[in-house]
């Protein structure tokens, strides 16, 4: 049995952290579904910027839409929705077979809205309505403004992938927003079955401290922070508050491991996949990491529900001078800034392509 199938049997979903029109049209994503038990995918502005920059498959579509008067964000979201609705249809059988738990794809609202919850909610509702697919998440960052938007979006019935979470505290804030949205739906006699995932970014911790700690500490902090969040996740699912919502028909907001491609050439290319095997979670990974794990990954024991040695490891980093609370906030800000830069580059890329067709 392939390691990817072993993870699937353990109860962890494998999602592809990539999408291009070429991968959809040449059958690659279908192949990943059949051969590697891939059951969903995610996207972000960086992924789309690279796809549109490098893939010739978009040229004809851009030409047509420019002729129709489309430009900027409107042009991008039309292209992205074409790709993601096609991907959603590929994963629709998984979505149906899992009762709506799996088989999701994700589309991000404009990162320029990250500090405007009302605009984020409006954009989330509009994008989800345009997609007309039950298995499309709208990605909303889990910063302070985003937490307000998450609650309102869930209350409005929009499935949400909460992104840019780095710590247990970030996760718990997102989970609380999700549950408040569900509680409000129940109070309003609306269906409480509105799906969500909470995406914990892992490898960026290790990149951030690489030059600040000694060699023996390399590539350990991200996994420890993920394990701490996993403990909080299991405790929340056992809580009286969640059990009441589950009894009313709500589904858990599943924990998702993001940024799980190894950034350190000296580390194993399957480091974060091997370490974060856990039931009722998702691991979303780039194709390179997926193929490496399928070839030589290992599935040993599942993560301990009690967090294992996470606190002891984090305490070691604190003694090395790492303030995990401050660093989590810094990483979240950096992540938002990175997505904003990618968004602006994406708009510039589309503008340049549109100018070619307008000449």
pLDDT at 177: 98
Task: Spell out the domain ranges in the chain.
Answer: 3-358
Buried b (16+ CB within 10 A) or exposed e, 302-320: bbeeebbebeebbebbeee
Do residues 196 and 178 lie in contact, with contact meaning Cβ atoms separated by under 8 Å?
yes
157 burial type by CB count under 10 A (0-12 exposed, 13-18 middle, 19+ buried): middle
Write the DSSP string, 131-145: H--TTEEEEEE-SHH
Q: Which of 214, 228, 220 is nearest to 320 (CA)?
A: 214
Please give the backbone phi and psi of residue 298, each rounded to the nearest 5 degrees, phi first.
-130, 140
> Per the CATH hierarchy, to which homologous superfamily does domain 3-358 belong?
Aldolase class I (3.20.20.70)
The pLDDT profile of the chain, 359 residues, written as one tens digit per residue, is 899 999 999 999 999 999 999 999 999 999 999 999 999 999 988 888 888 887 788 888 998 998 898 989 999 999 999 999 999 999 999 999 999 999 999 999 999 999 999 999 999 999 999 999 999 999 999 999 999 999 999 999 999 999 999 999 999 999 999 999 999 999 999 999 999 999 999 999 999 999 999 989 999 999 999 999 999 999 999 999 999 999 999 999 999 999 999 999 999 999 999 999 999 999 999 999 999 999 999 998 899 999 999 999 999 999 999 999 999 999 999 999 999 999 999 999 888 877 776 65
Q: What DSSP string describes 155-216?
A: HTT--EEEEEE-SHHHHHHHHHHHHHHHHHHHHTT------EEEEEE-HHHHHHHTTTS-GG
- Strand, helix or coil for residue 255: strand
CA separation for the pair 82, 262 (Å, rounded):
30
- What was the pLDDT predicted at 120? 98
Torsion, Cα of 121, 195, 201, 332 (10° steps): 20
Mark whether 139 is an active-site residue: yes
The DSSP line for 278-318 is -TTEEEEE-HHHHHHHHHH-----PPPTT-TTHHHHHHHHH
Task: Write the DSSP string, 16-45.
Answer: ES---HHHHHTTHHHHHHHHH-EEEE---H
Per-residue pLDDT at 295: 96
| Residue-level pLDDT at 356 | 73
Catalytic residue among 70, 139, 231, 353: 139
């Amino acid at each position: 049995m392939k390691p990817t199938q072993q993870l699937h049997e353990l109860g962890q979903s494998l999602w592809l952290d990539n999408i291009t029109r070429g991968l959809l049209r040449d059958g690659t994503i279908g192949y990943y579904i059949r051969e590697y038990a891939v059951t969903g995918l995610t996207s972000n502005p960086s992924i789309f910027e690279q796809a549109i920059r490098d893939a010739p498959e978009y040229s004809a579509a851009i030409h047509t839409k420019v002729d129709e008067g489309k430009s900027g964000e409107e042009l991008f979201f039309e292209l992205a929705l074409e790709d993601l609705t096609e991907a959603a249809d590929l994963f629709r059988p998984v979505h149906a077979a899992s009762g709506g738990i799996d088989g999701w794809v994700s589309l991000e609202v404009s990162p320029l809205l990250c500090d405007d919850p009302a605009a984020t909610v409006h954009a989330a509702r509009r994008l989800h309505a345009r997609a007309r697919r039950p298995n499309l998440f709208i990605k909303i960052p889990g910063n302070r403004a985003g937490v307000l938007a998450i609650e309102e979006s869930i209350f409005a019935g929009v499935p949400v992938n909460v992104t840019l979470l780095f710590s247990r505290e970030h996760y718990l804030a997102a989970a609380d927003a999700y549950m408040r949205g569900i509680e409000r739906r129940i109070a309003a006699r609306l269906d409480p079955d509105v799906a969500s995932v909470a995406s914990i970014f892992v490898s960026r911790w290790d990149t951030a401290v690489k030059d600040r700690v000694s060699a023996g500490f390399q590539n350990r902090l991200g996994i420890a922070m993920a394990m701490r969040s996993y403990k909080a996740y299991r405790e929340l699912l056992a809580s009286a508050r969640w059990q009441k919502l589950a009894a009313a028909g709500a589904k858990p907001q599943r924990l998702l491991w993001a940024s799980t491609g190894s950034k350190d050439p000296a580390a194993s290319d399957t480091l974060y996949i091997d370490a974060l095997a856990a039931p009722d979670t998702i691991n979303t990974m780039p194709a390179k990491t997926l193929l490496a794990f399928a070839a030589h990954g290992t599935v040993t024991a599942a993560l301990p529900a009690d967090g294992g040695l996470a606190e002891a490891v984090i305490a070691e980093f604190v003694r090395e001078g790492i303030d995990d609370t401050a660093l989590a906030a810094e990483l979240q800000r950096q992540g938002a800034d990175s997505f904003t830069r990618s968004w602006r580059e994406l708009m510039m890329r589309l503008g340049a392509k549109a100018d070619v067709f307008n000449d």
